[in-house]
Chains A and B, each alone.
Chain A
Amino acid sequence: MSIESTLPILKPADFASDQDVRWCPGCGDYSILAQMKKVLPTLGVPREKIVFISGIGCSSRFPYYMNTYGMHSIHGRAPAVATGLKSCRPDLQVWVITGDGDGLSIGGNHLMHTIRRNVDLNIVLFNNRIYGLTKGQYSPTSPLGKKTKSTPMGAIDNPLHPLSIAIGCEATFVSRSIDTNIKHLGDVLKRAAEHRGTSFIEVYQNCNVFNDGAWEYAKDRDTKDDTTLELEHGKPLIFGKDRKKGIRLNGLDPEVVELGKGINEDDLLFHDERAPEPSLAYLLSRMRYEDGFPEPIGVFRAVDKPRYDQMANEQIERSIKDKGKGDLEALFNSGDTWTVS
C-alpha cells in the first residue's frame, strides 16, 4: 500500500512574515522580495525546508520578511553560516542574501571560499554600489571618482565586479538581473534555485536614497535595450532596440558590431552557459557600459560539479561503510592498555 502525499499549494502570501517591511519607500529591495515570494511557491519545496541567511545591511533584513526559517547573522558572514547549515542539513534549501558591502568587502573572503567549495546555496547579492544602512559611504562596487560622504573628493579605489569575482572562483552558476525587470528577475531566481551547487545572482538594485539612478542606464525604457544584453544559451549575442547590434570576438576581445553590411548572426559570439571553462563567462562579465558595451543579464554560466555539502556527507557515509559505525568502546580500548587490579 502506498500513501500518497500531496504538498499543499502555496501562494506568495504564504511566504510573507508578520513583520512590517521597513525598507525606504521606493527601494529596489521591495521588488526582489516580491519576486522571491512569487518564485518560491513554484519550486515544490515545503516552506519549512527553506532557510534565508543574511549578513548586515539593508538587504540583509530580508529574512525577517519571509515566513520561512531564517537568520540575520553578522556582517559579511552569511555564506559561512549557510555553509555550516547546509553541510549538516543537505535536505534544506538555503538562500544567502547579501549586498555589495556585506558580500564583497567585509565578507569577501567567505564569499570566495563558499563559491569555490560549490556549497549548494543560492547567493543573491543586491548591488546598489553604496553603503545604505550606514547612510551613504562608497562601497567596493562604487565607480572610481564616486563622491560620497566618505569620499568628498571622489573614490580612489578601483571597483570590484561581482560576477568577475564569482567566475574567478569558478562558480558553477553565475547570473545577473535587475530589480525592476521583474519577469527576468523571477526567471533567474528560479533557475538559480534549481541549480545544484553555489548559485550566484547579482541583482542591480537601486538605492533611491543614497545612490539613486546608479543603474538608470540599464533600467531606463529608452536606453535599456542598448545598454543591456539578454543572454540565451546557444544563441548569438544580439542587442539593441531593433536587435541590429551584436557582439563579435576580435582575437580575444569582444567588440560591438552592426548586423548587416556583410556581418550576419553566424559571425557573432554564441552564448554557451555550459562551457566547462569559465573563460567565456568571464569575458562576458568584463563587458561594461562605461566601456561602450551592453551589460549582459541572464545566466552567464551553469555547469554541474560536485558539491561540498554532498561530498562531506558522502565521506561520512563511506567511512561508516568502510569502517563500520564508530564504536566508542572499541576506540577507547584500542592501542596499548593495561589493567590495575
Chain B
Amino acid sequence: MATATPPKPVSDLVEATVRFCGDSGDGMQLAGTQFTNTSALLGNDVATFPDFPAEIRAPRGTKAGVSGFQIHFSSTEIFTPGDTVDALVAMNPAALTTNIGDLRDGGILLVNKDAFDSKGLEQAGYPTNPLEDGSLSKYKLHAVDMTRLTRLAVDGLGLSQKEADRCRNFFAMGLVFWLYDRSLEPTLRFIESKFGKLPGVAQANTNALKAGYNYGETVEAISTQYHVGPAKLTPGKYRNIEGNEALAWGLLAAARLSNKRLFLGAYPITPASDILHYLSNYKNYDVLTFQAEDEIAAITATIGAAFGGDMAVTASSGPGIALKAEAMGLGVMTELPMLIINVQRGGPSTGLPTKTEQADLLQALYGRNGECPMPIIAARSPGDCFYVAQEAWRIATRFMLPVMVLTDGYIANGSEPWRIPEISKLPKIVIKHPDGLSNGDEFMPYERDERLSRPWAIPGTAGLEHRIGGLEKANITGNVSYDPINHEKMCHLRAQKVSNVADDIPLQELDGPESGDLLVLSWGGPYGACATAVHTAQKAGKKVSHCHLRYINPLPKNLEKILRSFKQVLIPELNLGQLSMIIRSKFLIDAISLNKIQGKPFSVSEIVTKINTLVA
C-alpha cells in the first residue's frame, strides 16, 4: 500500500485480548469472527468469548442491546479468552459504559465518537460526555468519527445513509486489523463470498475496511502498531472451529464411522439451535433433520429413529431437556442407543438464554422419574466437542442406552484452532444388528451380553418381531412384568450397565504431580481457566495438580485414588456446587467449592486467587 507517511514503530507482544462491542445490530459478532479467523490463519493460538443479549434487537443505543465479542490471541498456547481486555472497541456510549470495566489500565480504547450525541449519552446514563470530561484518562483513548469516515468511504456507491452506516463495523475492523498488524486478505475473501452477489454492498464493505486500516496507518494520534507472532502448536493442519460446529461434525463423523444414517430431532432453542442449522445443511452426508413441534416430539421422534436403526440424536438446552425428561426414561427403559445433547445455559426456567452456566449437572444425573441412570460425558472446549460426540455414540451403541452429552453456551459459541484429524485414524464404531437366524427359535429382546447390553434388533428383520415400551420389562423376554423381584433386578441391571461403562473408558489423567497440596478438579467449560490457573500456580512452586473430568457418569475408576492423593480438593464450577456434591457424597471427601453463577466463565485470576488462599 503506497503511503506518504513513514511506517510507525511495531511493538512485539506475546499475547493480546481485544473486545469489539456495540449495539446488537452493529455487526460485532461478525467483526469478532473475522478477527478470530484472521488471527488463527496468522498462526496465533486463539480463544474467543462471544457475549450477546437474548433480545435480537433491543432498542437501539440501550445497555440492554449491547453485544460483544472478545478474542484472546497469542504466540503461546492459551486456554481462555482472557481475563482483561487490552484493546476495547466501543461503537456507542452504552457499549462503553457496560464494557469499560474490563479494559486494563493503560489499555487502548477505540470509540466511535459520532455515537456520543446527547441521546446516546442519555441512554447510557452518562451525565457528561466521557470522551471530554477526562474520566477515561487512564486509557489510551482514540475517539474516531467512524460514522462520518465510513459514509465518506462509501460515498458514490449509491447506498442510503442507513446502508452506509451498516458498514461501520468494517471500518472498526480495519482499524483494529492495522493496530495488530493483521492482513485484510481473509476478510476481503469473506466479503467476496458473502456479498459477491451484491456488488454494491461488497464494494462498500471493502472500502470501509480499507478506510479503517488506512486511518490507523495515517493518523498520528495512534503511534504504535502491535505484533503477536504465531504460536508453537502441535504440527498439523489447522482451522478455526466453534463448539456447536465441532459437535455437528463429530456427529457426522460418528455416523460415518458406525456406518449409520444420522437422525437429529430438535426444536429451536438457544444456544443449541446451531447444531440443527449445521446438520440441516449436511443432508448429502445422509443426515435427516426433523424440526419437531416441541421438545418432547424432538426426543420421542429420536426414540422412534433409534428403534428404526438410525444414529438418533436430540439436541437442546436446559429448559428443553427438562421437557424431555419423561421420554429419556423411555429411552432408558427400552435400552435403545441415542444421544441427548444439552448445551447448557443460565437457569432456572428461561433464565439467561444467551449466557453460560453448568447448573444442569444434577438434572443430567437425576432429572428423571424413577431410578433412571444414564452415562454423562462433558466437552471441555469447542474442538473437544468433535471427539466427545464420537465417544458418546460409541458408548451408547456398545452398552445400548441413551448417553447425555453436556456442553455449554461458552463452549458452543466459542472458538479455537482445531487440528484437522485424519479420518482414517478415527476409531471405527462397530455395531451389530442381529439377523433373524442367529437368535435361535425364539427371539429374546432383553437377553444380555457380557456388558449387559441387549440386542438392537430393528424392524424389518424377519423373525425378530418384538414389542418394547415404557412398562417394566421382564429380563430376557422383555414381556411386561409387574413382578417385584424382577423390577428390583432390572433397576440394578440398568444401573450396573452404566457402571460397566467405567471398564470401557480411559483412566483419569492428571496434569501435574500425582500427589500434593491441592488438586483442582474441573469439568466442562472451566477447563481452560483451571488449566491456566494451575500452570500459573505450578510455576510459582506450588504443589498443585489439575484433573479435568470428561466422564462424569460413571466416574473413571482411578479417580478416588487421585482425589485421596492430595491434601485438598478444589472444585471450581459455574453453579452452586453440583459436582462438589457428587464427589462429597460418593467419596466422603471434604471438597472445597469455588462457585460462580453470573452467566460468565471463570477468569484465570479468580481461580489463581482461590488456589493462593488454599496453598501458601
Contacts of A51 in B (CB 8 A): 307, 459
- Asked if A325 is an interface residue, CB under 8 A from chain B, the answer is yes
Q: Which residues of B contact A74 (CB under 8 A)?
A: 300, 326-327, 329-330, 470
State which of B43, B284, B471 has its C-beta within 8 Å of the C-beta of A323.
B284
Residue of B nearest to A329 (CB): B423
List B contacts of A165 (CB < 8 A).
none
B236 at the interface (CB under 8 A from A): yes
Partner-binding segment picked from B248-256, B535-543, B585-593: B248-256
| B290 and A84 contact, CB distance less than 8 A | yes
Write the chain B residue with the least CB distance to A341: B235
Q: How many whole Å from B169's CB to the nearest CB in chain A?
A: 19
Residue of A nearest to B466 (CB): A69
- Does residue A110 face the partner (Cβ distance < 8 Å to B)? yes
CA distance A19 to B478 in the complex (A): 11
The yes or no answer to B310 lying at the interface (CB within 8 A) is yes
Stretch with Cβ within 8 A of B (4 or more), from A25-33, A85-93, A279-287: A85-93
Asked if A73 meets B420 with Cβ closer than 8 Å, knowing A326-B285, A338-B43, A340-B234, the reply is: no
- Shortest B293–chain A CB gap in Å is 4
Question: Does the CB pair A73–B284 fall under 8 Å?
Answer: no
29 contacts between A and B (CB under 8 A): A46-B462, A48-B465, A53-B304, A72-B470, A77-B327, A80-B304, A81-B300, A83-B301, A84-B290, A84-B304, A85-B305, A86-B304, A87-B288, A88-B261, A88-B288, A92-B308, A109-B294, A113-B292, A313-B288, A316-B288, A326-B282, A328-B285, A331-B282, A332-B239, A337-B420, A339-B238, A340-B232, A340-B233, A340-B238
Q: Can you name the residue of chain B whose Cβ is closest to the Cβ of A78?
A: B300
Is A47 an interface residue, CB under 8 A from the partner?
A: yes
A73 to B296, CA, bound (A): 12
The residue in chain B whose Cβ has the minimal distance to the Cβ of A47 is: B465
User: Inside 8 A of B235's CB, which chain A residues have their CB?
Assistant: 339-341
Question: Which of A60-68, A186-194, A210-218 sits within the interface?
Answer: A60-68
CA distance A91 to B263 in the complex (A): 16
CB distance from A324 to the nearest CB of B (A): 7
Instruction: Assess whether A336 is in contact with B294, with CB atoms less than 8 Å apart.
Output: no
Neighbour of A84 across the interface among B230, B253, B305, B469, CB < 8 A: B305
A82 B304 Cβ-Cβ under 8 A: yes
Q: Which residues of A contact B326 (CB under 8 A)?
A: 74
Given the complex, which residues of A lie within 8 Å of B465, measured CB to CB? 47-48, 67-69
CA distance A46 to B464 in the complex (A): 13
Q: Inside 8 A of B467's CB, which chain A residues have their CB?
A: 17, 52, 63-64, 66, 69-72
Would you call A48 and B261 a contact (CB within 8 A)?
no
Closest to A51 in B: B459
Distance in angstroms between the alpha carbons of A279 and B305 in the assembled complex: 35
Asked if A275 is at the interface (CB within 8 A of a chain B CB), the reply is no
Q: Which residues of B contact A89 (CB under 8 A)?
A: 308-309, 459-460
A324, B326: Cα distance in complex, Å: 39
- Is B480 part of the contact surface with A, judged by Cβ < 8 Å? yes
What are the residues of chain B within 8 A of A325 when measuring CB–CB? 284-286
Q: Is A322 an interface residue (CB 8 A)?
A: yes
| Minimum CB–CB distance for B420 against chain A, Å | 5
Residue B354 CB within 8 A of the other chain: no
Contact with B along A1-39 (1 / 0, CB 8 A): 000000000000000010100000000000000000000
Q: Roughly how many angstroms separate A17 CA and B459 CA in the complex, as a whole number?
A: 16
Tell me if A250 is interfacial: C-beta within 8 Å of chain B: no
Distance (whole angstroms) from the CB of A55 to the closest CB of chain B: 10
Query: Chain B residues near A134 (CB, 8 Å)?
Result: none
Asked if B302 is an interface residue, CB under 8 A from chain A, the answer is yes
Within 8 A of B (CB), among A304-341: 312-313, 315-316, 319-320, 322-326, 328-329, 331-333, 335-341
How many Å lie between the Cα of A110 and that of B295 in the bound state? Answer: 11
Residues A332 and B309 in contact, CB atoms below 8 Å apart:
no
Distance of A5 from chain B, by nearest CB (Å) = 12
Residues of B315-362 at the interface with A, using a CB-CB cut-off of 8 Å, are: 326-327, 329-330, 334
Q: Is A241 an interface residue (CB 8 A)?
A: no
Shortest Cβ distance from B265 into A: residue: A84
Listed in ascending order, the chain A residues whose CB lies under 8 Å from chain B are: 17, 19, 46-49, 51-54, 56, 63-64, 66-74, 77, 80-89, 91-92, 109-110, 112-113, 312-313, 315-316, 319-320, 322-326, 328-329, 331-333, 335-341
Please report the C-alpha to C-alpha distance between residue A335 and residue B238 in the assembled complex, in whole angstroms.
11
Report if B237 contacts A (CB, 8 A).
yes
- Chain B residues near A47: list those with CB within 8 A: 462, 465
CB pair B469–A337 under 8 Å, yes or no, is no
Q: Say whether A84 contacts B252, CB under 8 Å.
A: no
| Docked pose: A92 CA to B256 CA in angstroms | 24
B53 within 8 A of A: no
**Which chain A residue has the least Cβ–Cβ distance from B238?**
A338
Which residues of A sit under 8 angstroms from B463, Cβ to Cβ?
Answer: 48
Given contacts A64-B480, A70-B467, A84-B308, 10 further A-B contacts (CB under 8 A): A17-B467, A19-B480, A51-B459, A64-B467, A71-B467, A74-B326, A80-B301, A312-B290, A328-B249, A339-B238
* Contacting residues, chain B, for A77 (C-beta < 8 A): 296-297, 300, 327
- In the bound complex, residues from chain B placing their C-beta under 8 Å from that of A64 are 467, 469, 480
Q: Are B327 and A340 in contact (CB under 8 A)?
A: no
For B301, what are the chain A residues with a Cβ–Cβ distance below 8 Å?
Answer: 80-81, 83-84, 87
Nearest opposing residue in chain A for B281, CB measure: A319
Q: Is B125 an interface residue (CB 8 A)?
A: no
Is A71 a contact of B40 with CB atoms below 8 Å? no
- Within the complex, the shortest CB–CB distance from A117 to chain B, in Å, comes to 9
Q: How near does chain A come to B331, taking the closest CB pair, in angstroms?
A: 10
Provide the residues of chain B in CB contact with A113, threshold 8 Å.
Answer: 292-293, 297
Q: A87-B290, A326-B252, A333-B420 are in contact. Are A72 and B239 (CB under 8 A)?
A: no
Q: Determine whether the beta carbon of A48 is less than 8 Å from that of B186.
A: no
B460 / chain A contacts, CB cutoff of 8 Å: 48-49, 89, 91-92
Taking the nearest CB of chain B, how far is it from the CB of A98, in angstroms? Answer: 13
CB distance from A217 to the nearest CB of B (A): 35
Q: Decide yes or no: A88 and B470 within 8 Å by CB, A332-B239, A336-B37 being known contacts.
A: no
Q: Quick check: A328 and B466 within 8 Å, CB to CB?
A: no
Does A80 lie within 8 Å of B261, measured CB to CB? no
Residue of B whose beta carbon sits closest to that of A308: B290
Mask, B393-424, CB within 8 Å of A = 1, is: 00000000000000000000000000011010
With an 8 A cutoff between CB atoms, is B303 at the interface? yes
B300 touches A338 (CB 8 A): no
Contacts of A70 in B (CB 8 A): 466-469
Give A276 to B504 CA distance when docked, in angstroms: 58
- Report the separation of the CA atoms of residues A331 and B300 in the bound assembly, to the nearest whole angstrom: 30
With the chains together, A17 CA to B466 CA distance in Å? Answer: 9
How many Å lie between the Cα of A177 and that of B42 in the bound state? Answer: 71
Interface 1/0s, chain B 274-288, versus A by CB < 8 A? 000000001111111
B172 interface contact, C-beta 8 A: no
Which of A51, A69, A113, A325 has the most chain B CB atoms closer than 10 A to its own CB? A69
Whole-angstrom distance from the CB of B260 to the nearest CB of chain A?
Answer: 10
* Known contacts A48-B460, A110-B297, A328 near B256 by CB under 8 Å: yes
Contact A332 B287 (CB under 8 A): no
Q: Pick the residue among A19, A84, A112 that contacts B263 (CB under 8 A).
A: A84
**Residue among A49, A67, A84, A110 having the largest count of chain B Cβ atoms under 10 Å:** A84
Name the one of B263, B285, B310, B469 contacting A73, with C-beta atoms under 8 angstroms. Answer: B469
Please state if B237 and A337 are interface contacts (CB–CB under 8 Å).
yes
The complex places the Cα of A232 from the Cα of B342 at a distance, in Å, of: 52
How many angstroms from the CA of A169 to the CA of B524 in the assembled complex? 44
Chain B residues near A80: list those with CB within 8 A: 292-293, 296-297, 300-301, 304
